[in-house]
Amino acid sequence: MMSFRWSVAAGCLLAASSALAQNIAVKGKTVYTMAGSTIADGVVVIKDGKIAAVGKAAEIKLPDGVKVIEAAVVTPGLVDARGTVGVSGLYNTKHDSDQLERSAPMQPELRAIDAYNPLDRLVDWVRSFGITTVHTGHAPGELISGQTIVVKTTGKTVDEAVLLSPAMVAATIGPGSIESGNKAPGTRGKQVAMLREELIKAKEYAAKRKAAAEGKAKAQSDEKADEAKEGEGKGKGDAADRNLRLEMLADVLDGKLPLTVTVNRSQDIESALRVQKEFGFKLILDMAAEAYLVADQLKAAGVPVILHPSMYRAVGETENLSFETAATLKKAGVLFAIESGYESYVPKTRVVLFEAALAAANGLKFEDALASITIDAAKIIGVDKRVGSLEAGKDGDVAMYDGDPFEYTTHCVGTVIDGKIVSQVKR
């Protein structure tokens, strides 16, 4: 088996990786592009942070002076379709646990970009397994817990790391967001009623602001100065009446953002589908332990699933989860990805590479399992034009392994993000 090899001194490579993107060529005995056929003895050429060419090593002339890296298996950088890494921290203490605000059931205005820490050790940990892109943010646990973002697992600041902000608004239907002590929502019926009520308010709010904006534009186009001034005053009053909560939900209703709803029981999945049908927003299911019971309905509704980690604990509302759900969804034609997810204690984050491997051992084909943590994950979270496959023009994100990525004895031996070598740890 071919080992990971550097073409120049490792110290020089690491020094360069902290500066500008390198021009490098990543060779692999097997290259999974996720954009076509698997390539034997392939190469991925990265120039100025972007993929410049992908193909047979014997057929692609490498630029002069390019740094060459070799590994047994090369894949696109892995994509974690849903987690809380960087918002949930390594130490499980109050100072690094910003994933869930418990003061109110409705909080779509909470921005994940304000809570994400790109320097948290968990970010480095997942990167060392070849994970280059993560959809992270506020965790399940309130009826609407906040927003999510998509980030690269690199960068010293949030601005350097972020790909998409906001990415989605996160909601929860089922026991996860039911309150106790006579606080609302206390039942499933109350959960859905509160969600519908807030969406109706957002719809009315958006209509009111649109009408005000149209009225202002009409007044400003009027030739009479006093009418123009009246329109300006009206506009200022509207700005003062902004409602951040309703603005975010209005963006959901307008199709600018998906609503990702964490559900597990089939009855809660059906409730989410009913609300989506009523309001017409883009719905993405999260976790969905009993999705195999309603796979045909999900296919008919065109709703994708960010599926629970394969090794998630089968207790409570997830007691009926199955290792074969991924294979069932694939057979039904439902677009899905496998996530690291969120658990309130440990592990603080799972590794999607291992979760997909278990799905591959339980009925899901190898290529489909790899797609669930690369291109299909990128499609669901809305960044497939940049990441998820090895294609010319896409970001130079590559993961390297010393064997079959889903074998227990295999190691990730290198990670490249935007043309920079960001990890050489044998993990």
Q: Same domain, yes or no, for 348 and 410?
A: no
Q: Same domain, yes or no, for 35 and 147?
A: no
The enclosing domain of 31 has a CATH number of 2.30.40.10
What are 194's two structure tokens?
């509160």
Q: Same domain, yes or no, for 329 and 372?
A: yes
Q: Same domain, yes or no, for 297 and 376?
A: yes
What does the pLDDT read at residue 240? 46
Q: Is residue 99 part of a domain?
A: yes
Q: Same domain, yes or no, for 409 and 267?
A: no
Q: Same domain, yes or no, for 124 and 27?
A: no
- DSSP H helices in 306-412: 325-332, 352-360, 366-371, 375-381
Encode the chain (427 residues) as per-residue pLDDT tens digits.
Answer: 333 333 333 334 344 344 456 799 999 999 999 999 999 999 999 999 999 999 999 999 999 989 999 999 999 999 999 999 999 999 888 889 999 999 999 999 999 999 999 999 999 999 999 999 999 999 999 999 999 999 999 999 999 999 999 999 999 999 999 999 999 999 999 999 999 999 999 999 999 999 988 888 888 877 555 654 555 544 444 544 899 999 999 999 999 999 999 999 999 999 999 999 999 999 999 999 999 999 999 999 999 999 999 999 999 999 999 999 999 999 999 999 999 999 888 888 999 999 999 999 999 999 999 999 999 999 999 999 999 999 999 999 999 999 999 999 999 999 999 999 999 999 9
Residue 412 neighbours by CB under 8 Å, 6+ apart = 128, 129, 130, 353, 399, 400, 401, 405, 423, 425, 426, 427
What does the pLDDT read at residue 116? 98
Q: Same domain, yes or no, for 25 and 95?
A: no
The enclosing domain of 321 has a CATH number of 3.20.20.140
Q: Same domain, yes or no, for 361 and 338?
A: yes
Q: Same domain, yes or no, for 30 and 84?
A: no
What does the pLDDT read at residue 230? 55
What does the pLDDT read at residue 218? 82
238 CB-contact burial (10 Å; exposed 0-12 / middle 13-18 / buried 19+): middle
Q: Is residue 211 part of a domain?
A: no
Contact between 29 and 4 (Cβ < 8 Å): no
Q: Same domain, yes or no, for 182 and 168?
A: yes
What does the pLDDT read at residue 4? 35
DSSP 8-state secondary structure symbol assigned to residue 308: P
Number of compact structural domains in the chain: 2
What does the pLDDT read at residue 134? 98
Strand 131-137 and strand 259-263: the pairing is unpaired
Q: Is residue 101 part of a domain?
A: yes
197 CB-contact burial (10 Å; exposed 0-12 / middle 13-18 / buried 19+): exposed
Q: Same domain, yes or no, for 317 and 183?
A: yes
Contact between 59 and 45 (Cβ < 8 Å): no
Q: Is residue 61 part of a domain?
A: yes
Which pTM value belongs to this model?
Answer: 0.92
Domain that holds residue 61: 5-76+392-423
Q: Is residue 397 part of a domain?
A: yes
What does the pLDDT read at residue 358? 98
What does the pLDDT read at residue 229? 55
Q: Is residue 319 part of a domain?
A: yes
